[in-house]
Amino acid sequence: METNSIQADPPSLFDFAVEAQEDQARAGLFNTSHGMISTPAFMPVGTQATVKCLTPDQLKIIDPQVILGNTYHLHLRPGSDVIESLGGLHRFMNWDGPILTDSGGFQVFSLATMRKISEDGVTFQSHLDGSSCHLTPEKSIGIQKQLGSDIVMAFDECPPAGLDRISLEASVDRTTRWLARCRRTPLGTHQGLFAINQGGTHLDLRKKHLDDILTLDRAHAFEGFAIGGLSVGESKDVMELTLQDLVPRLPKNRPRYLMGVGTPEDILKGIELGVDLFDCVSPSREARHGRLLTSRGRINIRNAVHRESEATLDPDCNCYTCRGFSKAYLHHLMKADEFLGLTLNTIHNLSYTVNLTRSARIAIQKGRFASFARATRDHWKPESKDQ
């Protein structure tokens, strides 16, 4: 018997389809076993198995496509064995959407003390209790397997900005060898591995590293590619120049993830240059300090000018905070050190950032991304001073 309609095969796990493209900017669909990720997407950070100040229900309304978990933090507390025994990270934190776990590399190099790097891995002291820990590519992958995330990040070395070139070369080469070891370490059947490009501000090192990564990408070994170390104190020009040169060299049929970025301006720039995924603690951290992102520019809600303002935070925002509360109330909550202020601010800043990538996606689909980006930036002009 024949059917009249032709049905497309359902996408395979980790298929990445570019649905629309405008210059370098892409609208894509990335398939995971916890659901399809529409890109471009901003991933809220859930360091300790919670996106700070939000319940999973509040997060679901914001509707991020994917969220982050942190290998380093969860390994130290409560322990990845505990999370595994409780059914994995999704169940532990009651989040059934896609989760990406970082490898712990960045945290080992930014939080831990007494680091000793060897070919095998990194020995360090826990920032919690000073106990000695050892992380290797195999261990990082093993932990992420226990956590059961959808996207697993390769364990890399994150060299400090301004490292001398000789040391940086050695570091990048070690990261390549660690990537080969990550690739050989078995994952859960629903998990996919992302490789991370390093090389600091040296474009030639980054390109060489990318060549080495692509050599390791035999038979589609990696489900995506990340660019690391571009949010650690580099100027925006360096980020832009690096992405301009690097992104076109990445496979077109795999998602591209710019790690640790960021601000609305940087996200727009990244999308323009062909990046699909972003993450950053800044929108939620800024929220907890009362610094709020709006379509009319940044607002510091603690400022006295908001003390009696009946207006909502952002007339173009439909989030829970903007639907129900005045700026005066948000101002009061921060002044009175009320937890609810942190929650309402976080809901807004994450909604703003997630909606920015969602709007960018729609604009790309309509071939209007360039004008969307221009209009959005107009509201963010440097001369429009913070309120």
Pairing of strands 122-125, 291-294: unpaired
Note if 279 is an active site residue. yes
Sorted by sequence, the CB contacts under 8 Å of residue 273 that are 6+ apart come out as 24, 240, 243, 244, 247
Alpha carbon separation from 52 to 3, 67, 155, 339 (Å, rounded): 50, 12, 25, 11
194 DSSP β-pair partners: 153, 224
Stretch binding a copy of itself (CB under 8 A), from 48-56, 292-300, 355-363, 379-387: 48-56
> Catalytic residue among 156, 212, 266, 279, which?
279
**Of residues 19 and 338, the one with the C-beta less far from a copy of itself:** 338
What is the pattern of x (binds a copy of itself, CB under 8 A) and - over residues 80-119?
--x--xxx----xxx-------------------------
Q: One-letter amino acid identity for 51?
A: V
> Tokens in use for 163?
């490292």
- DSSP string covering 362-375: HHHHTT-HHHHHHH
Closest approach, Cβ 313 to a copy of itself, in A, equals 14
Q: Is 178 helix (H, G, I), strand (E, B) or coil?
A: helix
Alpha carbon separation from 15 to 9, 11, 220, 222, 257 (Å, rounded): 12, 6, 11, 12, 15
Q: Is 354 a residue that touches a copy of itself (CB under 8 A)? A: no
> Catalytic residue among 23, 102, 156, 314, which?
102
27 DSSP β-pair partners: 20
Question: Rule CB under 8 A: which of 253-312 touch a copy of itself?
Answer: 307-308, 310
Q: Is 48 a residue that touches a copy of itself (CB under 8 A)? A: yes
Closest approach, Cβ 111 to a copy of itself, in A, equals 14
> Tokens in use for 336?
């009175």
Strand order in the sheet with 224-227: 41-43, 277-279, 256-258, 224-227, 192-197, 151-153, 99-102, 67-70, 45-46
Q: Is 326 a residue that touches a copy of itself (CB under 8 A)? A: yes
Q: Alpha helices of 229-301 — where are they, by DSSP H?
A: 236-246, 264-272, 282-288
Residue of the chain from 21, 50, 125, 387 that contacts a copy of itself (CB under 8 A): 50
State the residue for tokens 């790309």: 364
**Of residues 50 and 126, the one with the C-beta less far from a copy of itself:** 50
Residue of the chain from 155, 329, 352, 369 that contacts a copy of itself (CB under 8 A): 329
Closest approach, Cβ 324 to a copy of itself, in A, equals 4
Residue of the chain from 328, 359, 370, 387 that contacts a copy of itself (CB under 8 A): 328
Closest approach, Cβ 305 to a copy of itself, in A, equals 14
- 327-331 contact pairs (CB < 8 A, 24+): 327/299, 327/301, 330/292, 330/301, 330/306, 331/301, 331/302, 331/303, 331/306, 331/307
**Of residues 161 and 311, the one with the C-beta less far from a copy of itself:** 311
Note if 120 is an active site residue. no
**Of residues 58 and 185, the one with the C-beta less far from a copy of itself:** 58
Residue of the chain from 43, 45, 53, 354 that contacts a copy of itself (CB under 8 A): 53
Closest approach, Cβ 91 to a copy of itself, in A, equals 8
Closest approach, Cβ 197 to a copy of itself, in A, equals 31
Q: Could you tell me the sign of the dihedral formed by the alpha carbons of 349, 353, 354, 358, in that order?
A: positive
Alpha carbon separation from 124 to 48, 63, 121 (Å, rounded): 19, 36, 10
Closest approach, Cβ 345 to a copy of itself, in A, equals 12
Count of residues touching a copy of itself (by CB under 8 A): 40
Residue of the chain from 280, 333, 354, 363 that contacts a copy of itself (CB under 8 A): 333
Residues that bind a copy of itself (CB under 8 A): 48-50, 52-58, 73, 77-78, 82, 85-87, 92-94, 307-308, 310, 320, 324-326, 328-329, 331-333, 335-336, 338-340, 342-344
Residues with active-site annotation: 102, 279
